[in-house]
Amino acid sequence: MLEKLKLPQMIKRLEQVCAGFPDVRTGKNNVYDLPDVGMSAFSVFFTQSSSFLAHQRDMKLRKGRSNAESLFGLSEIPSDNQIRNLLDPVSPEYVQPVYRQTFLALEQTGVLEKRRCFANQLLAAIDGTEYFSSKVIHCENCSHRELSNGKTNYFHSALTPVIVQSMNETVISLEPEFIVPQDGHEKQDCEIQAAKRWVEKWGDFYAKRGMTILGDDLFSREPFCLALKGKGFHFILVCKPDSHTHLYQTVDFLAANGVLGSKVVRRWVGRYAEIYTYRYANKLRLNGEPDALEVGWCEVTITREDTGEQLYKNAFVTDFEVTDTTVEAIVRDGRARWKVENENNNVLKTKGYHIEHNFGHGNQHLASLLLSLNLLAFLFHTVLDLVDEQYRAIRQTLGTRRRFFQDLEALLRYFQFKNWNEVLDFMFKGLELDTG
């Protein structure tokens, strides 16, 4: 099954999906095949080199063959403008099957079993992120906001779910859901509507595999919680006092009467000890309605034992029963939510993938399709880091993603390789890594 997760096989599956892109061209002006167009765009994101295609055109002239052909399966290399024009009508939904195929391959190889957490669940953290912003360029799918200076800011944003795990730096991308103008003008409305669509589309597939949804306070509202339960998901969602006044009135009442569950744990962290103070309760109404959904609630406060300084405090609602024996694990998993921001969104913005860069906006779907291809590039690199020891050794030795991409860009510019095995072998031997 590991064969399915080797880079040539993953690239081949994406190429097959690109072959199904709709072709809006008429007449005889069909010089470039759509797989060449789609894979040309993907190659830029996978190598994180905006000049990759230009370098490969030069290599083709000099050497008669290019890495675009041998590594990404291209027959011809279209121009940047041709790529943008031909991809603009293509909805990002066309590449979504690749996420499912990759998930299934990870599942079949046992990789995902190592990711399971409390109650043998996978954790999927959801959050929204912007990936395009302009005061001038816009399209029919842009959202917009009015600025204080009277100007309009146009932007695109998307929900980017990822599988996370506490104490694990890697995240595994799932299908994104794009936030569209009709979702509303407030951040909360937009992200909630997109999240509901994601649950409706993919819930039947993911929930039956055992999955708990993590999210910030925007998502701990009854309609969304009911949507999750309706599909069979579990949930652990941040719950703040100012947005859940009725629930916290009940918490205060229970605490005042000495019937709120509690637990204190001391953990030594090297130079000092941290005190984890847990409070919890079950069957609390999520809001003030008489028939409101009943949830479990838990809170953790972390302080330094020597100074009394508060280091962290947060609370969550969940459909799991919270007890003395489960509260630590539930809180641990709930806190893993932040990884969708730090290990996913921030990495995509600042560590080499440049998702906020305007690679091409178009008038229809171009911006969202290019983001999808960029996310797939990130997913492919993540999979290689999980299953390919040679790739993982190279990445660990080079340290940063940026350095890895710089070395890859230089190699693919000056040397022509027959396949990806040659590329990785060259880097592995050049770094004099231990083959034993």
* Predicted local distance difference test score (pLDDT) of residue 149: 85
Do 255 and 135 fall within a single domain? yes
Are 423 and 417 contacting, i.e. CB atoms less than 8 angstroms apart? yes
Cα distance between residue 160 and residue 125, in whole Å: 8
Cα distance between residue 160 and residue 343, in whole Å: 12
Do 249 and 363 fall within a single domain? no
Instruction: Tell me whether residue 369 is in a domain.
Output: yes
Do 269 and 381 fall within a single domain? no
Q: What is the pLDDT of residues 159-197, one digit of tens each?
A: 999 999 998 888 999 999 998 876 555 555 588 999 999
* Predicted local distance difference test score (pLDDT) of residue 187: 55
315 in helix, strand or coil? strand
Cα distance between residue 185 and residue 175, in whole Å: 23
- What is the chain's alpha carbon radius of gyration, rounded to the nearest angstrom? 24
Side-chain-side CA neighbours of residue 378 (13 Å): 28
**What are the Cα distances from residue 376, in Å, to 86, 101, 219, 225, 325?**
19, 12, 26, 29, 39
Q: Which of 315, 359, 330 minimizes the C-alpha distance to 131?
A: 359
Number of domains observed in the structure of the chain: 2
Task: Give me the tens of pLDDT residue by residue for the chain, a chain 436 residues long.
Answer: 578 899 999 999 999 999 999 988 776 666 788 999 999 999 999 999 989 999 999 999 999 999 999 999 999 999 999 999 999 999 999 999 999 999 999 999 999 999 999 999 999 999 988 888 888 888 877 887 888 888 888 888 899 999 999 988 889 999 999 988 765 555 555 889 999 999 999 999 999 999 999 999 999 999 999 999 999 999 999 999 999 999 999 999 999 999 999 999 999 999 999 999 999 999 999 999 999 999 999 999 999 999 999 999 999 999 999 999 999 999 999 999 988 776 766 677 766 666 666 677 888 899 999 999 999 999 999 999 999 999 999 999 998 888 999 999 999 999 999 999 999 999 999 998 865 5
* Predicted local distance difference test score (pLDDT) of residue 344: 64
Percent of the chain with pLDDT over 70: 93
* Predicted local distance difference test score (pLDDT) of residue 185: 54
Cα distance between residue 42 and residue 26, in whole Å: 25
Percent of the chain with pLDDT over 90: 77
Instruction: Tell me whether residue 341 is in a domain.
Output: yes
Per the structure, the complete domain to which residue 221 belongs is given by 111-346
Do 304 and 421 fall within a single domain? no
Q: What is the pLDDT of residues 250-267, one digit of tens each?
A: 999 999 999 999 999 999
* Predicted local distance difference test score (pLDDT) of residue 31: 73
Do 120 and 158 fall within a single domain? yes
Do 85 and 185 fall within a single domain? no
Residue identified by tokens 């703040």 is 240
Do 56 and 118 fall within a single domain? no
* Predicted local distance difference test score (pLDDT) of residue 300: 98
Do 137 and 267 fall within a single domain? yes
Instruction: Tell me whether residue 58 is in a domain.
Output: yes
Average pLDDT, the chain: 91
pTM value?
0.92
Side chain identity at 10, as an amino acid letter?
M
CATH code of the domain in which 201 resides: 3.90.350.10
Q: Which residues contact 327 (CB under 8 A, 6 or more apart)?
A: 261, 263, 278, 280, 298
Instruction: Tell me whether residue 351 is in a domain.
Output: no
First-residue to last-residue Cα distance in the chain? 24
Do 367 and 421 fall within a single domain? yes
